[in-house]
Structure 1
Amino acid sequence: MAVNDINQGLNYITYGLYIVTTCEGEKKNGLIVNTVFQVTADPAQMAISVNKNSLTHDMILKSRVFAAMPLEQNTPLPFIGIFGFRSGRTFDKLAKVPYKTGFLGCPIVVEHTLSYMEVEVSQTVDMGTHTLFIGQVKDAGVLNPEGVALTYDYYHNVIKGKTPAGATHL
């Protein structure tokens, strides 16, 4: 089977867009991901997939904590760009973004997000270019109960957002 056929088939899997943040000491960072999912309900566990080239990946490996927040459908492209188009190695992504500090110390972005889940990592799975971080939800809350989640399909087809070539290094 041709790679193009596989990629076309994968395009029909539904995804959301999420901000994932973490902290390591006083340092805080975050990025956009499209792979966040619940693993179990009791105890509440979830998983995320993060590219190994990103600063956030390295910070999660060290701190063993992260927060995941689904973006709302009307999130403006410039806001998405803060977390998706620039590297935390050279840019403070949270400098002008409203957030509160969560139970585990992670930044909880309170603008353009629907809810948050703060997770303590219990397992990692090496997936080649990415790491799957799996852990127990230690805190969660609703930030915008009236909002609609931003899907990857809506992002590409309505907002006309692009995935920059360097996005895997953010």
Structure 2
Amino acid sequence: MPPQRLLELSAHEFGECRVVLQPPPFGLIDLRALHLAEMLKAELAREVPSKIYIESLITIFGVHIVRNYTGADSLPPRRKSGGGLSNRSAERVRELLQSRFASKITVGELAAVSGLSPRHFIQAFTKTFGESPHRYVLRLRLNFAEELLVESVLSIAEIAHLSGFSDQSHLTVTMSKHRNRTPRQVKQQR
């Protein structure tokens, strides 16, 4: 992806034309980027790859990079009442959730990152982020699913899988409950 394209995507996302890339912490695997790379590899392996599909995947990847690795995404404001996660712990937990939201993450794993017991972690997380860990992950999954529904030509079943839902039905029920619309309705808004 040419640097100019990242600048264009940054301007579209944040209204500014500067990009300062910040690599993820060492050892952190970005599952969303990995899924996009796998989809791109599969399309390129086809006898006649679709140029539009390839360009769409590259654009989605670019938006993902701009949103997650340019420092523009900041932590939610800390609440004045104590008991939340430290800024460092909150950032580490947020990075872990951003990179692994589509896979199963236990509260124990998240608590270990912040050095708290699972019970205290849930309370601290909720104070810091304003929602429970489950709701936070659900929001990440739904946001990613909506992004793919609008910007890709993948089937709803494929998008459900890539977003961490067990199947298309699970995505449909969850999106209907929390967003008051179905994946098909989102896809038709393109």
TM-score normalized with structure 2 length:
0.25
Structure with higher Rg: it is 2
Q: Which has the higher helix share?
A: 2
TM-score normalized with structure 1 length:
0.27
Q: Which has the higher strand share?
A: 1
Q: Which has the higher contact order (CA 8 A, sep 6+)?
A: 1
